[in-house]
Structure 1
Amino acid sequence: MQAPHEAVPDWSRQGFTDQTVRQVVRVSTGGTRARIELSNRYGRTPLTVTGATVARAGKGASVQDGTVRHLLFKGQRSVIVPAGQEVRSDGLAMKVRALESLTVTLYLAGPTGPATFHQAAFATTYRASGDHRADTGGEAFKERSQSWYYLSGVEVAGGKGGACRSGVVTFGDSITDGYGSTVDANRRYPDVLAERFAATGHPRSVLNQGIGGNRVTADSTWAGEKGVARFRHDVLGEPDVGTVIVLEGINDIGASAWPDWPDGPAPDVSVAQLIKGHRELIRQAHAAGVKAVGATVTPFKGAAYYSERGEAKRDALNEWIRTSGEYDEVVDLDRTLADPADRDRLAPAYDSGDHLHPSDAGYRAMAEAVDLDEL
């Protein structure tokens, strides 16, 4: 599992007042137009974004000279995002290369109140006092975080690499999110998958919808809505999605046996309940014409919430994923990452150190286990 947000320094609870937030995101495909999505999904009051810019990323908080562009929202520089909703900026004519990093800067005159955020970005976010949305240098950005705030998407259109409904969503928990990967290095498995597509000469959109601590069957006060509930928004609500890769269930298993789960003791989740949850994800995907790829749950022996009973559940769930035929395709990440000397453990080279989350090498092996032709 991933630690709850109280253990990771962030700015979400206090929010922002007369501050500028600068965030760096690498896109998976190129094109000629770009826009951003801002989320106030968990806000209780309307969010006012006084202004936003996009630029080609430089080093740290700096951006490349001459690339700063002001974003518009229905022709205006400022936008109000209602509580519980999201907005997209107007499309901006901008040539973007596949795998290029863009810097999105938001000026929030505020006060905003608590911020909708993604806790574990594994990327550095920068903050400055006052309005510095048009700065090219990074000198004013003296504070650092490793979360993303309000920015929930960067969309690139007009490229030649992708066809209609070619997008791939990776759906899961902290292992999909990239927990344990090197910060600012884009070494999560969805990043490497996007690199593999780009290397073929046919880049495809790869969207990471992993949330640390997330479960298939149960909501969490710190790790988001349960998978069966958020799937419609986080997968089917995204544009041009044709395939989803589902890797989730280890937190349902681990929380069942662990009294220190951050939400308190969790109900004991059976294999039958996990299979029912996966069937619901498959049903939703198929109803929307989306191909569902099931990933076997990776080894976790030695992790804080490991138990022999939990291991038996993982084995049973994986056997169902492999043999039931209910997923359109299967990627066997369990066998990819397992230690040959003990198949219940991550191989040492693939272990980030907590016996649950892969290392950079492990995430690369995961991405390389995916058959691109099956997608």
Structure 2
Amino acid sequence: MPETFTKWVACWGNATSITDRKEATYAKDLTLRYPIRACFSGNKLRFHFSNLTGTEPVTISEAYVAKDVPTPITFGGRASAAIPAGEEILSDEIAFDVTAGETFDVSLYFADFTQMNAGTAITGPLSGGKYSYGNFAKSATLPDDLTRKTNWIYFLNTIDIYTEEKNFALVCFGDSITAQDWPDYLTLRCAREGFNNVSIIRRAVSGTRILREYSCITYAAYGLKGATRFPIEMNVAGARAVIVQHGINDIIHPVGVEVNKFRPWSDMPTADDLINGVRTLYIMHARKLGLKIYSGTLLPIYGWRTYNENRDIIRVAFNQWLRTAPDFDGCVDFDAAVRGHDDPKRFAGGFDSGDHLHPSAKAYEAMAECVPEELLK
């Protein structure tokens, strides 16, 4: 029986946040190329572009989607489009046949000076792209001498595919733990185990907190606070549920103004502060959207440079609520999946990346494996 395509579902997506403020914040005559693995079959694509954290308009000079021959991405029939500061735009619907499991490329060209202030850094076996100096958006290959790899995803925010009714999206919301590898490993697990009707949409920003955000350029790339992020990032076609793994940065960031003027002790939350934040910022909004919401427990932090016993007491108390609160539809116990059996304050052997905060690749695989099947069916 031929496939019947009836609805739009997000098949790829990331957050958009403030990029790291380096000496150079503008690019000119630049091509970006991002490979996208198709999790669903479909016959049309549409593309969301975001300049959410930009302070001036950004103009996409040309954009293409390609497997072999490049197909123009258009905006109201035009090849070029401006993204106003602080806003997002949606492309035209592009006729483009996609088969689940194959990879296509999205290429963007920026001719004029472009403020590179809207994007996010992600890692994982399916993540990353390339940039080239010059206009190679229509080229089948990028020139080696003018091209480098990048883990920054600029402007391209979400890709929707017109696909079968049975397909749906699962959103993974969080900070650097989620901006790193486990959502990619979850995508690979779904392909391996035959969960073929779910896409894994990542909405994660390194350094971000539930309750607060930074206004200084030193920490600007830590991103927007949860109250700002969540309503924007839950705009996901075909989403059924969201896993929220967020809050560790609220606990580990404050050090006192005598150590860092931007990180006062007054920013230090209680477990109840975090609980109230999740209830009012995440759970209530997810319910308004008709989404199921699953909690994700916070990982061990013993040995992290700001670790102390009080911080861990807060983490443990917050985790206990995340595991047992009836507010959620369930819990994904990431902490239990990666902590040591003899010393639960620490990562299990081989599961620490070395900084005592972020997991190793092996641990990220374990996180992906512990996601309950009920979220993937």
TM (normalized to structure 1)?
A: 0.85
Of all paired residues, the percent bearing the same amino acid is 31
- Is residue 156 of structure 1 aligned with residue 156 of structure 2? no
Superposed displacement of residue 125, structure 1: 3.2
- Is residue 129 of structure 1 aligned with residue 103 of structure 2? no
Inter-CA distance 374–148: structure 2 relative to 1 (3 Å threshold): closer
Superposed displacement of residue 257, structure 1: 4.3
What residue in structure 2 maps to residue 89 of structure 1?
Answer: 91
What residue in structure 2 maps to residue 62 of structure 1?
Answer: none
- Is residue 334 of structure 1 aligned with residue 335 of structure 2? yes
Contact 2:255 2:263 in 1 (8 A): no
What residue in structure 2 maps to residue 251 of structure 1?
Answer: 249
Shifted more, 167-176 versus 133-142: the winner is: 133-142
Inter-CA distance 254–142: structure 2 relative to 1 (3 Å threshold): same
Contact 2:19 2:117 in 1 (8 A): no
Superposed displacement of residue 228, structure 1: 2.6
- Is residue 51 of structure 1 aligned with residue 28 of structure 2? no
**CA–CA separation in structure 1 for the residues paired with 2:149 and 2:241:** 35
CA RMSD, 1 decimal: 2.4
- Flag structure 2 segments of 5+ consecutive residues without an equivalent: 1-17, 215-219
Superposed displacement of residue 36, structure 1: 1.9
Number of residue pairs the alignment of both structures matches: 347
The structure 1 residue matched to 2:26, chosen from 15, 28, 31, is 15
**CA–CA separation in structure 1 for the residues paired with 2:230 and 2:177:** 17
Contact 2:298 2:315 in 1 (8 A): yes
The structure 1 residue matched to 2:200, chosen from 202, 206, 213, is 206
**CA–CA separation in structure 1 for the residues paired with 2:74 and 2:233:** 24
SS at match of 2:197: coil
The superposition leaves residues 189-221 of structure 1 with CA deviations (integer Å, 9 ceiling, x where unpaired) of: 222222333332533121101110111111132
The superposition leaves residues 142-197 of structure 1 with CA deviations (integer Å, 9 ceiling, x where unpaired) of: 234321111112222224650xxx3211011100111xxxxxxxxx2222222333
What residue in structure 2 maps to residue 240 of structure 1?
Answer: 238
Contact 2:254 2:263 in 1 (8 A): no
Contact 2:122 2:128 in 1 (8 A): no
Contact 1:43 1:83 in 2 (8 A): yes
**CA–CA separation in structure 1 for the residues paired with 2:256 and 2:242:** 30
What residue in structure 2 maps to residue 63 of structure 1?
Answer: none
Contact 2:132 2:142 in 1 (8 A): no
Structure 2 residue identity aligned to 1:43: G
Inter-CA distance 201–125: structure 2 relative to 1 (3 Å threshold): closer
Shifted more, 116-125 versus 319-328: the winner is: 116-125
- Is residue 139 of structure 1 aligned with residue 143 of structure 2? yes
What residue in structure 1 maps to residue 346 of structure 2?
Answer: 345
